Structure 1
Amino acid sequence: MRVVLGPMEGVLDSLMREMLTEINDYDFCVTEFVRVIDQTLPDHMFYRLCPELKQDSATKSGVPVKVQLLGQEPEWMAENAVRAANLGAYGIDLNFGCPAKTVNKSKGGAALLQQPELIYQVVKACREAVPAHIPVSAKIRLGWENPDDCFEIVDAVSQAKADELTVHARTKMGGYKASEIKWEYIDKIRQKTSVPLIANGEVWSYQDGQDCIKTTGVDSLMVCRGALNIPNLGNMVKHNHEAMSWNEVVELLIKYSEFEVNGDKAKYYPNRVKQWFSYLRQAYPDAADLFREIRVKNDVEAMVEHLKRYRDSLYA
């Protein structure tokens, strides 16, 4: 089986990818989306979201990284796909699944689920523009509101010659509600298309992964939110490892703080760590108490010192 570390806007940045790929056996990662509107973006925009482009489009532990694009203009999406490819991208992924209101209002992400023809045009333009050896993939949800719309959407992606398709098994209106997951639709899709599939949604453990594979018939899985809840989720799903202990998570928090955070990254660090705690609290009860202690701190050094004192108290 394959396990992929998916994208999360504003959370799963390059530092988080570096750390999570160091402790998990992921097959590849996907960046936060590069927003494409009506121009070819400068190189620094790609390097900002995917600094791994400067090291053969892979994390330091050697895990390949795809660049994800989000937009709705076929010509400009293709132009930027070529730009990413020329910078050395391992692959190009096209986002048709983001449910964020700000993105959908500007006709991006999941908004395109209502226009399969436009999805076809975007994928086709990108696939034809990018060199054949670089995979062009897409990520979708089952539809905007009706999951049965997925078949027309998948047909559009298939006809456009995408190399792979990730299916988040909920509609846009289903949000992230566990009750809205419909893995069985991925099985129906699998039976109707030759495009290789990756299943996404509600994989929080080894058993979830096995259940998803059994239901969908797809043995490639993508994890996103769960990878932040339990940092070694990739190895749990792929190799049936035990979840990291809370003490190990605290060590990881400190390690994250010691990654290179020069320049702009340093000012983002406090917010990124606080965001991470919002996920950790769902799996580790002790995270809630520690979060209350550090949430008032906005200085990197003060946060790191507090984490170290907390770590020391665990072993006192």
Structure 2
Amino acid sequence: MHSVILAPMEGLVDAPMRDILTRIGGIDRCVSEFIRVTDGPLHPAALHRILPESRQGWRTAAGVPVHPQLLGSDPDWLAHNGAWLADLGAPAVDLNFGCPAKTVNRHRGGATLLREPETLYRIVSAMRAALPARVPVTAKMRLGYSDTSQTLECARALADGGAAEIAVHARTREQGYRPPADWTWLARVREAVSVPVVANGDVVDLQSYREIRRVSGCEQVMIGRGLVACPDLALVIQRSCSGEAAAAMGWESLHPWLVDFYAQVRERVVDRHVPGRLKQWLAMLAGVYPQARILFDQIRRQTCADQVAELLEQGSAAQLLAAPSSTC
């Protein structure tokens, strides 16, 4: 039984992106961008800004569950806020031990904690004790901070602390997103713990999805950048696993989703920042869709949200559609 999970990616996979990708289809579950926990309770406004699905039954408009993710290093405050999320109906609480961002790591968040397996254990244990039994604690990690010397120790600390599932990005923090991801480590982690392991890293098409499952032995796969660059990848995977035809989406079908995405971003972000979000997505789509590169070049110097909207509306014009689209 296959399962595709949309990865949490700060500044990229936000609520509008989750909405679009889950409505296109094939995604079984989402994990939110991280919600930072420092030394106090979370404010409801912060939760609703990052995770508006919390007011929609913790599901996207397509009905796909969204699990909140917390980031921090204080076991007590993480547990306190996790319990609050559970009271609000969160289906699970995920913990971020994988973020490679320097700012996050400087403040003892994300992947820097992979140098402290005992801290991982204390955080997960505190969270598990604070939540009702019906609400799972899950975690995401990388293979380590600078090397893999503590990979298995960290995974065991998470599992022993009470994590019901561990998603593993198959790179260290210092490797960032440089290829290749080492999928063989996913198999080693899976063998070292008694809880399910979710495979993550470098899944960009149907072939790499099949290969990561073969190498890792994992039934669940988490995909981030691959789904942003190829929005119907999860649907292609789902259809292929069901024995159906798996033709990729063409530009003409994708273009209305871009228009929808831009409109949603304008509702959430001040106008001067809106064009940047569209440019970010087009730049990633350009590897699959030549039309995205053409449109990106047309708007790259535009900073006016209205002008970008006009160019986007014209983005299905014949000159763009004339360029053939690649397949995922």
Structure 2 equivalent of residue 287 of structure 1: 292
Q: Would you say the 8 A contact 2:271–2:304 is kept in 1? A: no
Helix, strand or coil for the counterpart of 1:170? strand
Does the 8 Å contact 1:46/1:84 carry over to 2?
no
Matching residue of 1:68: 69
Amino acid at match of 2:179: A
Matched residue of 1:34: which SS?
A: strand
Conserved in 2, the CA contact under 8 Å of 1:207 and 1:237? no
TM-score by length of 2: 0.91
Q: What pairs with 1:79-94 in structure 2 (closer than 5 Å)? A: 79-94=80-95
* DSSP-derived class of the 2:21 partner: helix
Partners of 1:174 and 1:242 lie apart in 2 by 33
Contact kept? 2:251, 2:321, Cα under 8 Å: no
Gaps of 5+ in 1: none
Amino acid at match of 1:304: A
Letter paired with 2:8: P
Aligned CA RMSD, in angstroms, stands at 1.7
- How far residue 293 of structure 1 moved from its aligned partner, in angstroms, is 0.9
The 2-side partners of 1:226 and 1:3 are apart by: 12
Q: Please say if 1:183 is aligned against 2:183.
A: yes
Q: How many residues are paired up?
A: 315
1:176-255 paired onto structure 2 within 5 Å? 176-179=177-180, 181-240=181-240, 241-255=246-260
* Deviating more after overlay: 184-193 vs 155-164: 184-193
Q: CA deviation at 1:175?
A: 1.2
Task: Work out the CA distance in 2 between the residues paired with 1:220 and 1:265.
Answer: 37
Tell me the SS of whatever aligns to 2:41.
Answer: coil
Q: Which whole-Å CA distance do the structure 1 matches of 2:134 and 2:304 have between them?
A: 45
- CA 1:201 to 1:315, structure 2 compared with 1: closer, same or farther past 3 Å? closer
Say whether the 8 Å CA contact 1:213–1:219 is kept in structure 2: yes
Which amino acid in structure 1 is aligned with residue 208 of structure 2?
D
Matched, 1:51 2:56: no
Question: SS of 1:121's equivalent?
Answer: helix
Equivalence for 2:167: 166
Task: Tell me which amino acid in the other structure corresponds to 1:279.
Answer: M
Q: CA deviation at 1:298?
A: 2.6
SS at match of 1:147: coil
1:29 Cα offset (Å): 0.2
Q: How does 1:114-125 map to 2 (within 5 A)?
A: 114-125=115-126
Classify the secondary structure of the residue corresponding to 1:104: helix
Match of 2:129 in 1: 128
Amino acid at match of 1:125: A
- 5+ residue gaps, structure 2, are 241-245, 323-328
Q: Is the 8 A contact 1:206 1:238 kept in 2?
A: no
Q: Secondary structure at the match of 1:182?
A: coil
Superposition deviation, residue 297 in structure 1:
2.3
Q: Which whole-Å CA distance do the structure 2 matches of 1:11 and 1:18 have between them? A: 13
Aligned 1:296-315 pairs, distance under 5 A: 296-313=301-318, 314=320
Aligned to 1:275, the other structure's residue is in SS state: helix
What whole-Å deviation, never above 9, does each CA across 1:228-257 have from its counterpart, x for those lacking one? 111111112333323322222223211223
How far did 1:266 drift?
A: 5.2
The 1-side partners of 2:126 and 2:270 are apart by: 34
- In 2, distance between residues paired with 1:44 and 1:22? 25
In 1: Cα distance, 2:128 partner to 2:85 partner: 13
